[in-house]
Amino acid sequence: MVSLWTYWRHGGMPKQKFDTVGGPSTYAVELTKRNAVAPLTGEGAETGTLRIELSWRTRPPTDFNPTQWSTLWRRPLEIFKPAEVQGHSQGVASIDLDLACLYELKDGSKGVIQSLGGLEGDFNAPPYIKLSGDDRFGTGSGENLYVNLDHAEEFKRLLVFVYIYDGIPAFDRADVVVTLVSADGKNVEIGLTDPAPHARSCAVALIEHHKGQLIARREVKYVYGFQSEIDRLYGWGMSWGRGTKPSRLRA
């Protein structure tokens, strides 16, 4: 199956199966409304690292000629440059998407992993989740969450979400994909489809235990606020205050 990100990356044009280092097992599985659940652990993936990656590209103007994609993708610095988006009253702004995760452990502890406030997490100590990179250009090597599956039994639930920290709400101006890469190399992709034009946050995937496995369930629910509204939607019960991004998030 062709990767959803590869499909969108090339302007939505059908492609041959892409080459993968690990063979057919690394082909992407897309979660949809009809097929909303996929296992993340199982044979060969009970331990190790689950990597969660945020990728996006801004959509071309409506008068853009799709046949130009092959030329533009030879100039990645141009296509990944934050798009200028016209707002009704805000003027021109750029798209800045951020990846984050609400967590609840079985011992009752709760929290959030995000760049706001420098809450990067810890891979080798609770909550066993680490955020690396703050990507403002949508490149595939930018912003990632790393989940330590050696401590999978200590997780009660994880909620992966994306929010727009800076600039005008612009989920409808970009093609956005969140990819969950399991320890055995399988990719589970969730496209942020049917975006609400003025939403600032989107709950993407809920990760929980089911019959001895960690499973991911597609959510893709948009809200018009930030973390506190995501919290209320899923009943996390945390207290929220204003935060800022550090000048540079450590890798």
Instruction: List the domain boundaries for the chain.
Output: 25-60+93-234
CA dihedral 140, 42, 111, 107 (to 10 degrees): -170
Q: Is the pTM of this model over 0.85?
A: no
- Where is 208: in which H helix or E strand? strand 201-210
The pLDDT of residue 134 is above 80? no
Give the pLDDT confidence score for residue 184 in this predicted structure: 85
DSSP structure class, residue 17? P
Model confidence pLDDT, tens digit, residues 109-125: 999 999 888 899 999 99
The pLDDT of residue 224 is above 70? yes
- C-alpha span between 119 and 228 (Å, rounded): 16
Fold of 25-60+93-234: Lipoxygenase-1 (2.60.60)
Q: Phi and psi (nearest 5°) for 34? A: -80, -40
DSSP structure class, residue 65? -
CA distances from 183 to 39, 47, 112 (A): 12, 7, 23
Q: Is 4 helix (H, G, I), strand (E, B) or coil?
A: helix
The span from the first CA to the last CA of the chain, in angstroms, equals: 32
- C-alpha span between 229 and 199 (Å, rounded): 11
Instruction: Give me the amino acid identity at 22.
Output: G
